[in-house]
Amino acid sequence: DTGVSQNPRHKITKRGQNVTFRCDPISEHNRLYWYRQTLGQGPEFLTYFQNEAQLEKSRLLSDRFSAERPKGSFSTLEIQRTEQGDSAMYLCASSYSVGDTQYFGPGTRLTVL
Amino acid sequence: GENVEQHPSTLSVQEGDSAVIKCTYSDSASNYFPWYKQELGKGPQLIIDIRSNVGEKKDQRIAVTLNKTAKHFSLHITETQPEDSAVYFCAASIGGTSYGKLTFGQGTILTVHP
C-alpha cells in the first residue's frame, strides 16, 4: 500500500491555459474524491467517483472543470481556460467504501499567473 | 447542506499541556466525524475518527468526544509535544445518498512551544 499519489505536485500556469492533474488512489479503493483547498481554509468537496462513474459534482465545479476516471483506477482533473481564482491546492482522496476513512494524497498546488 | 464550524482558529500551548479543539455541525443526519492533521505542504492525514453510535474514542494521547444532541464534537490532545504543531481540521459526513463527502471546518493552527 503506497498511499494516494498525485502529479504534478506543483503547477504554475498563465491565465487562459489548460491544466490537467492526475490522482492514483490506493489500490482496491473504488471510491475517489476531489477536493479544493484555498489558503487558510479547509478542503471543499468538488466531485466523487465510484469506480468509473462520476456520481456527484459540487456547484464549485464550473463547466471549465472536468474529471474522469476511465478505468476505475486513476483519475484526472482538467481545468480549461484557467483563471487566477483557480489558484489553490487540489487534493485527491480515496476510500474502500462509503463511510470508510478517506486517505488523502499530497495535493497539487496550482498557481495561475 | 452541512455546515461545520471550528474553534479556535489558533491555539498556542506549552509542551506538556492539553489542547482542545471544538466543532459544531448543522445536519443531524451526519454520522461520521474524522479529524485530520495537515502539515505544511502536505495533504491531510487522519488522526482519529468517531461514528454517531459512539460517544467517545481514545487513541493514546488523542481523544474525540461526540454529543449528538448538541451537534458538537471535540478533539482532545494530552501531553502535547512540539511535533503536534500543525493545522487540525474537523469534518462531518453523511452516508447514503451523500456518498460520504466530507464537509470540513475552517481549521485550527496549533502551536506547541518547547
pLDDT at position B62 over 70: yes
Please tell me what DSSP assigns to residue B71.
Answer: T
B11-54 pLDDT, tens digit per residue, is 999 999 999 999 999 999 898 999 999 999 899 999 999 988 88
Cis amide bond preceding B8, omega within 30:
yes
Q: What proportion of chain A, given as a percentage, has pLDDT over 70?
A: 97
Secondary structure of chain A as H, E, C letters = CCCCEEECCEEEECCCCCEEEEEECCCCCCEEEEEEECCCCCCEEEEEEECCEEEEECCCCCCCEEEECCCCCCEEEEECCCCHHHCEEEEEEEECCCCCCCEECCCEEEEEC
pLDDT at position B98 over 60: no
Sign of the alpha-carbon torsion through A62, A63, A64, A65: positive
By C-alpha distance, the chain B residue nearest A34 is B101
Cell of residue B6, nine digits: 471550528
- Split at pLDDT 50, 70, 90, the class of A76 is very high
B63-72 pLDDT, tens digit per residue, is 999 999 999 9
Of A44, A56, A104, the CB nearest to B44: A104
- Going from the C-alpha of A107 to that of each of A89, A96, B35, B42, B97, the distances in angstroms are 6, 20, 18, 7, 26
In sequence order, the 6+-apart residues with CB closer than 8 A to the CB of B53 are: none
Of B91, B101, B104, the CB nearest to A56: B101
User: Min CA distance, A81 vs chain B (Å)?
Assistant: 26
- Split at pLDDT 50, 70, 90, the class of B99 is low
Cell of residue B62, nine digits: 488523542
pLDDT at position B114 over 60: yes
Residues of A near B (Cβ–Cβ under 8 Å) read 4, 6, 31, 33, 35, 40-45, 48, 50, 55-56, 91, 95, 98-107
Of A45, A56, A105, the CB nearest to B43: A105
**Which residues in chain A are contacts of B95 at CB distance < 8 A?**
98-99
pLDDT at position B3 over 80: yes
The pLDDT of residue A1: 54
A8-24 pLDDT, tens digit per residue, is 999 999 999 999 999 99
**Which residues in chain A are contacts of B89 at CB distance < 8 A?**
42-43
Question: Which comes out higher in pLDDT, residue A89 or A96?
Answer: A89
In sequence order, the 6+-apart residues with CB closer than 8 A to the CB of A97 are: A30, A31
- Split at pLDDT 50, 70, 90, the class of A26 is very high
Taking the C-alpha atoms of residue B2 and residue B78, their distance in angstroms, rounded to an integer, is 30
- Is the distance from CB of A17 to CB of A74 less than 8 angstroms? no
Taking the C-alpha atoms of residue A62 and residue B92, their distance in angstroms, rounded to an integer, is 24
- Split at pLDDT 50, 70, 90, the class of A60 is confident
By C-alpha distance, the chain B residue nearest A90 is B43
The pLDDT of residue B53: 81
By C-alpha distance, the chain B residue nearest A95 is B100
- Average confidence (pLDDT) over B53-64: 93
pLDDT at position A98 over 80: no
**B11 phi, psi to nearest 5 deg:** -145, 125
The pLDDT of residue B52: 83
The pLDDT of residue B94: 80
**Which residues in chain A are contacts of B46 at CB distance < 8 A?**
101-103
pLDDT at position B81 over 90: yes
Residue contact B103–A45, C-beta within 8 A: yes
Q: What proportion of chain A, given as a percentage, has pLDDT over 90?
A: 81
